[in-house]
Amino acid sequence: MADEALSRLLSLRHGDPHALLGVHPVADGLFVRVFRPEAFRVELEIAGARHRLEPRSDHPGVFEGHLPGREVPTYLVHVEYPGGASFSFRDPYAFLPTIGEHDLHFISEGTHLRLWERLGAHPRHHQGVFGTSFAVWAPNAEGVSVVGDFNGWDGRLNPMRSMGPSGVWELFVPDVNEGTRYKFEIHPRDGAPFLKADPMALRTEVPPLTASVVHHLHHYRWSDGAWLARRKAAKRHLEPMSIYEVHAGSWRVVPEEGNRPLTWRELAPQLAEHVSRLGFTHVELLPVAEHPYGGSWGYQVSSYYAPTSRFGHPDDFRFFVDTMHQHGIGVIVDWVPGHFPRDAFALSRFDGTALYEHADPRRGAHPDWGTLIFNFGRNEVKNFLVANALFFVDEYHVDGLRVDAVASMLYLDYSRAPGEWVPNRFGGRENEEAITFLRELNETLRTQHPDVVVMAEESTSWPNVSRPVAQGGLGFTHKWNMGWMHDTLKYFEKEPIHRKWHHHQLTFGLLYAYSEDFVLPLSHDEVVHGKRSMLNKMPGDAWQQFANLRALYAWMWAHPGKKLLFMGGEFGQRQEWAEARSLDWHLLEDDAHRQLMELVGVLNETYRREGALFETDFHAQGFQWIQADSSDPSVYAFVRRGRNPWRELVCVANFTPVVRHDYRIGLPSGGWWAEILNTDDRQFGGSGVTNAPFKAHPKSWDGQPGSASLTLPPLGVIWLAPVDPPPAAQTP
C-alpha cells in the first residue's frame, strides 16, 4: 500500500501528500520523507546538525530516513543537484492546513461572504514562519500542484492536499512573498496536466502574460472616511445622480510615450478635476477586473478578483477610488457575472470538467460573444460571484456595481433559435437559477452594504427589476432605461421636418417611467460599431448638430431618472469611440465643442441645485405633462416637482429649427418666472433667442391655472422656474 501511495504521489495524483512527505512520528522515533526529483543528496538540518536522507532506488527522487526523538522538530531541507547547484528551504509538508472546517463548510454551502480571504494566495505568518498559503477549488481534479517563481514552475515540487469533499486543495509554502508569480497545475482524471491562473488571484501579470501574482491586500491606507460616512447617511433615491461613464484606457493617453494609457495614479487627479469641474456626481468605469483581450473593453473577464494590471498595481486602483472620493465623486464599476471567456489559462473547464460553466452548450455557451455562461445552479459558483461583488465594495470601496447583460442571464433562449436551448422545469424560458442568483446577490449586498447602488443593464420588459426581493422583484436599486435611450436617439436622429410623425417616441417613455427606478443612459454602446458619435448622430449642418445635441442633453437632464453620459459626449466627440485611442481633446480648441462642454457643466450645476429635478425621479407626482401632443410644431412641455411643493420647474422643448414666436404655454402657478437654462444661449453656442423674466398671465391654458406667451428658440430647450419679481416690478 505504501508503494502504491508513493506511486500516486510521484504521478501527482495523491490527495494527501502531507501524509507521505515531511516528518512523522513512528513506533521507534521519527520518520522523514522528501521528494526532490533529480537531486543526488538531501539532508535535514535540525538545531544546527545535519541528517542525511537516503534515496530510494525504486522511487527516484524520494529520500527517506529516521530521526531520533518523539516530537516533530523545526528543520530545514538542504538539497544538492548534479553540477553543484544547491538549495535550502523550509519544508511545506511540515505545516498544518490554513483553512478550517468552518470555512470549508461555508465554501461547500456557497455562503462564504469573504471567500477571497480563504481561497487564492495569501502572504501570512503560519506556525511562526512567513510564507504564502495557496488554496483553490478544483473538486474533480486527481491532483493539484502550485507552481511559480519559487519552484522553477515544476509541478512535482509542491503538490497540494485535498481538503476532502469541499473540493478545495491547500498548501502553505514558506518564504514565498508578495510579487511572486504562480499558477496551479491541474492533473485531471483524464488527459495530460495543464496550467491555470488562480480564479481568486488578487493581482495578475500585465496581459498578454497570464500568471497570477501573490498580493497582500492590507498595505494601502485609505483617506476616504468622510466620504464613506456621508454615503452611509445619504438617502440614495432623494439624491442627484449624474454619472460620467469612462473607459480608463482611452480617456487620455501619453503621446510622448507611444500613446500609452494613463496609469491609475495618473488618471485619478486628471479625471477627478474634469468630473468635478463639470459637476458629475459619479464616474462609472467599464469593467476593471483583469481581462486578456483589450478589445472586449473588459467585458470578458479572466481574473474576477484582480483589477487590471494594465494601469498599475492593485493599490494604484485603490488610490484612484480614494482620490475620487476625496473630490466628492462616487465610483461605480461595471461587473460581468453572466459569462466569461474560453481562454485556456482561465476559468474554462478549470479542473478538466465544466466546473464554472454548464457542460451542455445549450446552457453553457453564449452564441453572441463566443463565451461561456456561469452555472448559477452550483452553490460554489454563486458564492464565487456574490463574494466578488462584496470584494470590490469591501476592499476597493466602490460605491456601486452596474451589472452587465442581465437580460442574457434571465432568459434561457436569449439569442437562441428553437432547439438551441433547454426549457426550465416548467417548460418555460426563464432561467430560474440565474433569477435566484441575482436575488441572492442583491439581498446580500442590501444586507451588507445598504448604501451601495446595484444597477441592472436589462433591455427587456422583465418586471420589477428594481423592486425588493420581498415584493417579488430582482432587488436591484436601479435599472438602465434602454427603451428610453433607443426611442430618444431614434427621434433625435431624424430630420426635424419628419419629427412630427414620431412625436410619441418622446412621450411613450412616460407611460412606464415609474415602473422601475431608472437611469437614463447615453452609453458607450451607442457610439461604436457604426452607430456614430453622439454629435454625428444629429442631423443638419454643424450648427444644427450642436443645437440638437444641446437640446437632447437638456431634455435628458430634465426628464425623470438618473443620468449617465459616456466620455467624449460632453464636448461632442466627432469620431466613434475606439478603445485603442484617446478621446479627441484637441476639439476643445474649437468654440462649439468648448461651449457644449460648458452647457454640460451648467446642466449638472443646475440639476444638483434644483431638487425638483431629482427628488421625485421615481414618483409619478413629480411629473406632469403640460403639452404632450403638440406634434405639428414638435413642441413638448412638462412640469417637474420636488419635495418642496412650491418649487416647480417647467421644461419646454422646440425640436425644430423654427423660432416659435408668441407661443403660449400653460404654467402651474402665477407670479414671476424666468429662464434658469436656455440651450440657445450664446454662451453655449446658440443663436441667442431667450426670454426675459415674465409674469404668468391668470389665463388658464393647457389645463394649468396660468400661462405665458414665450419665444421658443430653434432646436432649443428652456427650463423655467418661479423667481422673485424684478425690482422694477415690485411695489414701492
Which of the following is catalytic: 334, 457, 615, 680? 457
Of the chain, the end-to-end C-alpha distance in Å amounts to 109
Residue 331: Cβ-neighbour burial (10 angstroms; 0-12, 13-18, 19+)? buried
Residue type, 294: G
User: 650 - beta bridge partners?
Assistant: 639, 720
Evaluate whether 651 touches 710 at the Cβ level (below 8 Å): no
Distances (CA, A) of 605 to 245, 523, 601: 18, 21, 6
Hey, what's the cell of 37? Answer: 526529483
CA 5 to chain centre: 46
Hey, what's the cell of 721? Answer: 422656474
Extended beta strands in 188-329, E state: 194-196, 212-213, 242-246, 253-254, 260-261, 282-285, 289-290, 303-307
Kind and range of the H or E element at 400?
Answer: strand 400-403
Residue type, 526: E
Evaluate whether 317 touches 212 at the Cβ level (below 8 Å): no
Asked if 404 is an active-site residue, the reply is yes
Residue 186: Cβ-neighbour burial (10 angstroms; 0-12, 13-18, 19+)? buried
CA distance 542 to 110: 57
Residue 580: Cβ-neighbour burial (10 angstroms; 0-12, 13-18, 19+)? exposed
Residue type, 230: R
Evaluate whether 118 touches 99 at the Cβ level (below 8 Å): yes
Dmax over CA atoms of the chain, in Å, equals 114
Hey, what's the cell of 158? Answer: 509542491
Hey, what's the cell of 344? Answer: 485556456
Tell me phi and psi for residue 234, to 5 degrees: -70, 150
* DSSP-based three-state secondary structure for 225: helix
DSSP conformation letters of 652-676: EEE-SSS-EEEEEEEESS-SEEEEE
CA 286 to chain centre: 7
Distances (CA, A) of 19 to 1, 5, 129, 159: 13, 10, 21, 12
Which of the following is catalytic: 198, 245, 404, 440? 404
Evaluate whether 66 touches 31 at the Cβ level (below 8 Å): yes
Residue 68: Cβ-neighbour burial (10 angstroms; 0-12, 13-18, 19+)? exposed
CA distance 11 to 89: 23
Asked if 458 is an active-site residue, the reply is no
Question: Count H helices, E strands: the chain?
Answer: 14, 37
Catalytic residues: 404, 457
